[in-house]
Amino acid sequence: MNLRSLMPFGGGNGGTRTQAPANVFGSLHREIDRLFDDFTRSALAPLGQAQVNLMPSIDVSETDKEILITVEMPGLERKDVDISLEDDVLTIRGEKKVEKQEGEEQNRNYHVAERSYGVFLRGIQLPPGIDPSSIQATMSNGVLKITIPKPAKAEPKKIEVKDAA
């Protein structure tokens, strides 16, 4: 399988940019993107307001028989996560809701508020032919694990050439 077909999208390149091997510049590229994101968020946000970073970290790995996607989702429960497959794109959607404050907690003055709340969406391009009913998803301790069996490879079929009548 082509590594590029498993690369997550979410930022806007749409898969049109050529990519260097993941082990050479991947971490440097992610760090530069993070620095630009942090800079633009801090420039646009008023002082003291939390920086929003809801995009969960993911790992995508594969064996000969399956693709394994692991997603970190601290603070979320199963009911907060939706997974769908459409046009060979696996979409993971989640929502981290603000905890309701009651009684004296409503009058609490925050000195630091860094926790983020809201909706996030991740999309991962999968190889064609995945059966949605075969996908397994489990969640434990804020970690979502999605196991996707690879489709059987089509065997080449020999076509007999006959004499024209």
pTM score, whole prediction: 0.60
Which range of residues forms the domain containing residue 63?
A: 3-98+115-149
**25 inside domain:** yes
Q: Residue 149: CB partners within 8 Å, gap ≥ 6?
A: 65, 66, 130, 131, 134, 135
Nearest Cα to Cα of residue 121 among 88, 95, 87, 85? 95
Residue with token string 């630091």:
112
Does 71 fall in a domain? Answer: yes
94 assigned to some structural domain:
yes
pLDDT-wise least confident of 10-24, 84-98, 135-149: 10-24
158, part of any domain? no
Identify the residue with better confidence: 115 or 20: 115
- Average confidence score pLDDT of the chain: 78
CB atoms within 10 A of CB 68: 13
Which CATH number covers residue 75? Answer: 2.60.40.790
- How many domains is the chain partitioned into structurally? 1
162 part of a folded domain? no
pLDDT 10s digits, 31-88: 777 777 766 665 555 444 444 567 889 999 999 999 999 999 988 899 999 999 999 9
pLDDT at residue 89 tops 90:
yes
Distance of alpha carbon 54 from alpha carbon 95, whole angstroms: 9
What is the C-alpha to C-alpha distance for residues 41 and 33, in angstroms, rounded to an integer? 12
In a domain, 110, yes or no: no
